[in-house]
Amino acid sequence: MPDLSSTPRTTLRRHSERGVADREALHAVLDAGLVCHLGVVADGAPRVLPTAYARAGDLLYLHGSTANATYRAADGRQVCVTVTHLDGLVCARSVFHHSINYRSAMIFGTARLVTDPAERAEALRAVTEHLTPGQWSYARRPTRKELAATAVLAVPLDEASVKIRDGGPLDDPEDCLAGVWAGVVPVRMVFGEPEPDAALRPGTAAPWHIRRYRGRDTTGRSA
Amino acid sequence: MPDLSSTPRTTLRRHSERGVADREALHAVLDAGLVCHLGVVADGAPRVLPTAYARAGDLLYLHGSTANATYRAADGRQVCVTVTHLDGLVCARSVFHHSINYRSAMIFGTARLVTDPAERAEALRAVTEHLTPGQWSYARRPTRKELAATAVLAVPLDEASVKIRDGGPLDDPEDCLAGVWAGVVPVRMVFGEPEPDAALRPGTAAPWHIRRYRGRDTTGRSA
């Protein structure tokens, strides 16, 4: 596997101690996320779109509508995809060192609009299963017409950087002498109690893959 | 106040029913977020950076280090700033209608690197107070040297679009006849128990503005 930080733009010039250069760390950040931010250049200006995604090996699949102009603008062009997890508010003894704990991955690559029906179906399966594991085999599969209305972008995971900040505040020694509280307020995403659709047929129970969300956070831990 | 959706790129071509064109909705999405994604064009390619921010009236302040190349690249240039809240997994009876509930704001504008020391101090105050209300008056204020090492970008809130999806799945009528569960798994960000710094002076109690995070979500509700 090539090293991830092999280009000037993925080499961290600041806080290089927060850089993580291995592929395993990249996969961990991507696999833990639900929404990414896709950056494209449209008419010379940047455009940042939140979108669903999934990792399939060393490819990232992004999923949208064929009517989405940003997706069409991205085909064959350089894109940047960023996934960020906010993990905590880092409260320092000085405002200057106030910070956040986070994990983020930034991927640079040339996007390809997936045209092969089989790859598009596989990408849709990957995105559905990434968002909601178990849903692909539970819900009705897409028809040929539905697949044709689905736009999928593929971005290779060859050029990427991962940045992680964790732990407590990094205060100046003289500030630590003051009786000021410092520490971290943890932040995480949690799932709530599944809410049945109003038009649900009476007596339709939620399947296990939905029931298990209750009281879990996005890492699968008990909330 | 000018209408927010007055340019071609902020006019929603898809799911225009999800577009919200008023300034109040824009402010609500921005004020509820903690991290934004800043898109810039660097060497002709897009770059998407997660960063802390705050809204001050009709300006957005983004805060980083003066050593950050993305910030320098953004000065006087077109940027796109996107704030996204994931609110739920929308589980439909068909994979094609599987979706997510979200609120997102996309701001287009020319960024300005703030050079005036007074405005920079005010922006740092706004970002600190947005992340952690109460912290600015509790922690040590920045010195002149610290302020000089802080980069602040200002982006006007003149051209923006807000998109919100909420509610249940939009299934095809024939799929609703099947005994398949459908509904929404809510997602939200919650704060955990504040974790004191290891080097804290014994007996230093967390102040009220930190203690109140416990068991709250990012909207301030009880988790």
The answer to whether residue A37 neighbours chain B at the CB level (below 8 Å) is: yes
User: Rounded to whole angstroms, what are the CA distances from B99 to A47, A131, B10?
Assistant: 22, 9, 22
Per-residue pLDDT in tens (0 to 9) along chain A, 223 residues: 344 555 767 765 556 556 666 889 999 999 999 999 999 999 899 999 999 999 999 999 998 776 677 888 899 999 999 999 999 999 999 999 999 999 999 999 999 999 998 999 999 999 999 999 999 999 999 999 999 888 999 999 999 999 999 999 999 999 998 889 999 999 999 999 999 999 998 889 999 999 988 877 776 656 5
The pLDDT of residue B1 is above 50: no
CB < 8 Å to A182, chain B: 196-197, 199-200
A64-99 b/e (C-beta count within 10 Å ≥ 16 → b): beeebbbbebbbeebbbbbbbbbbbbbbbbbbbbbb
A 98-117 near B (Cβ less than 8 A): 98, 100, 102, 104, 106, 108
Read off the pLDDT of each residue in B47-73 and give the average, rounded to a whole number. 88
A98 and B132 in contact by Cβ < 8 A? yes
A41 and B41 in contact by Cβ < 8 A? yes
- With tokens 């029913």, the residue in question is B17
Contact criterion met (CB below 8 Å) for B58 and B28: no
Pairing label, strands B159-165, A19-20: unpaired
The predicted pLDDT at position A13 comes to 53
B13 and A69 in contact by Cβ < 8 A? yes
The answer to whether residue A211 neighbours chain B at the CB level (below 8 Å) is: no
Read off the pLDDT of each residue in B180-187 and give the average, rounded to a whole number. 96
B166-176 tens-digit pLDDT: 999 999 999 99
The answer to whether residue A218 neighbours chain B at the CB level (below 8 Å) is: yes
Backbone angles phi, psi at B57, to 5 degrees: 65, -125
Helix (H) or strand (E) holding B90: strand B78-91
Q: How many CA atoms lie within 13 A of B58 on its CB side?
A: 12
Residue B14 has its nearest CB partner, among A67, A180, A201, at A67
Pairing label, strands B150-156, A150-156: unpaired
The pLDDT of residue B54 is above 90: yes
The predicted pLDDT at position A114 comes to 94
* pLDDT-above-90 percentage for chain B: 74
Per-chain mean pLDDT for chain B: 89
Nearest CA-CA distance, residue B63 and chain A, Å: 11
B128-154 tens-digit pLDDT: 999 999 999 999 999 999 998 889 999
The answer to whether residue A65 neighbours chain B at the CB level (below 8 Å) is: yes
pTM: 0.92
Q: Which region holds residue A57: left if phi is over 0, alpha if psi is between -120 and 50, else beta?
A: left
Read off the pLDDT of each residue in B114-125 and give the average, rounded to a whole number. 93
Nearest CA-CA distance, residue A48 and chain B, Å: 6
CB < 8 Å to A9, chain B: 42-43, 45, 47
Contact criterion met (CB below 8 Å) for B175 and B93: yes
B4 vs B185, higher pLDDT: B185
Which of A37, A40, A191 best tests the B interface by mutation, with the highest count of B CBs <10 A?
A: A37
Residue B189 has its nearest CB partner, among A104, A187, A206, at A187
Nearest chain A Cα to B64, which residue? A99
The predicted pLDDT at position B219 comes to 63
Contact criterion met (CB below 8 Å) for B121 and B54: no
CB < 8 Å to A213, chain B: 89, 185
d(CA A132, CA B189): 18
Contact criterion met (CB below 8 Å) for B91 and B184: yes
The number of beta carbons lying within 10 Å of the beta carbon of residue B72 is 15
Nearest CA-CA distance, residue A159 and chain B, Å: 13
CB < 8 Å to B176, chain A: 199, 201
Name the pLDDT band for B221 (thresholds 50, 70, 90): low
The predicted pLDDT at position A71 comes to 83
Contact criterion met (CB below 8 Å) for B46 and B39: yes
CB < 8 Å to A94, chain B: 139-142, 146
Contact criterion met (CB below 8 Å) for A175 and A93: yes
CB < 8 Å to B195, chain A: 168, 183-186
The predicted pLDDT at position B154 comes to 97
Query: Would you give the distance in Å from CA A185 to the centre of its chain?
Result: 22
The predicted pLDDT at position A1 comes to 39
CATH of A8-170+180-187, picked from 3.40.50.150, 2.30.110.10, 2.140.10.30, 1.10.3720.10, is 2.30.110.10
Nearest CA-CA distance, residue B135 and chain A, Å: 7
d(CA B116, CA A61): 43
Which of A51, A66, A95 best tests the B interface by mutation, with the highest count of B CBs <10 A?
A: A95
Residue A135 has its nearest CB partner, among B46, B95, B146, at B95
The predicted pLDDT at position B204 comes to 93
ipTM of the complex: 0.92
The pLDDT of residue B27 is above 70: yes
A143 and B86 in contact by Cβ < 8 A? no
Name the pLDDT band for B14 (thresholds 50, 70, 90): low
Read off the pLDDT of each residue in B48-56 and give the average, rounded to a whole number. 96
Contact criterion met (CB below 8 Å) for A20 and A37: no
State the fold for domain B8-88+99-167. Answer: Pnp Oxidase; Chain A (2.30.110)
Domain positions in chain A are 8-170+180-187, 189-223
The pLDDT of residue B2 is above 60: no
Read off the pLDDT of each residue in B34-43 and give the average, rounded to a whole number. 95
